[in-house]
Amino acid sequence: MNFYEVIKTRRSVRSFKPDPIPDAVLQHVLNAARIAPSGGNRQPTRFILTRDEQRKKQLVPLCNGQSFISQAPVVVTACGQDIRGNRGGYMGKLSMLVDVAVAFDHLTLAARAEGLGTCWIGSFDNAGIKQFLKIPDDFQVVALTPLGYPEGDPFIETTDRLPLDQLVCEEEWHL
């Protein structure tokens, strides 16, 4: 599948088949996230894979009741290490969020290229998930996603995006 088709057809999937993900496919997806760039090559991103059925169900209340996450064969939790000090600019230690988001986006796009569905979960109990997954104090949960083969065919191109002329300015802001 060509890269632009991957981008145009990636969707949030909320219904999954129970089919397992072959190890080689999972490794391709995780490797895409591993090689994502990060500021100063700090590589603050870490991933936790949850495959056990009971543990996936225990994540549901920690993700505000989004029960579909437990349908997928794998739930991926993306964490980022707090950056000690200000790496420059106004973001400071929050720049870790950008680094993790870049890696997570690589993961979601690679998953789409492999025929897998994802759904970027941003509504969750950080403290609860940290305790449940035994995440160290100097890391924060940034996002989760179920990962699996979708039910049906959700991979259609969307038409509900703003046109470029409402997003892009030349030389200075004029929107």
User: Tens-digit pLDDT profile for the chain (175 aa)?
Assistant: 899 999 999 999 999 999 999 999 999 999 999 999 998 888 999 999 999 999 999 999 999 999 999 999 999 999 999 876 666 666 676 789 999 999 999 999 999 999 999 999 999 999 999 999 999 999 999 999 999 999 998 888 888 889 999 999 999 998 8
8 within a domain of the structure (yes/no):
yes
175 within a domain of the structure (yes/no):
no
Q: CB neighbours of 8 closer than 8 A, spacing ≥ 6?
A: 157, 158
173 within a domain of the structure (yes/no):
no
Please answer whether residues 120 and 108 qualify as being in contact, where contact means their C-beta atoms are separated by less than 8 angstroms.
yes
Round to whole Å and give the CA distance between 69 and 83. 29
What's the predicted TM-score (pTM) here?
0.93
CATH number of the domain residue 13 falls in: 3.40.109.10
115 within a domain of the structure (yes/no):
yes
107 within a domain of the structure (yes/no):
yes
Full domain range(s) for residue 81: 3-166
**Helix 126-133 × helix 53-62 angle, to 10°:** 160
Q: How many domains does the chain have?
A: 1
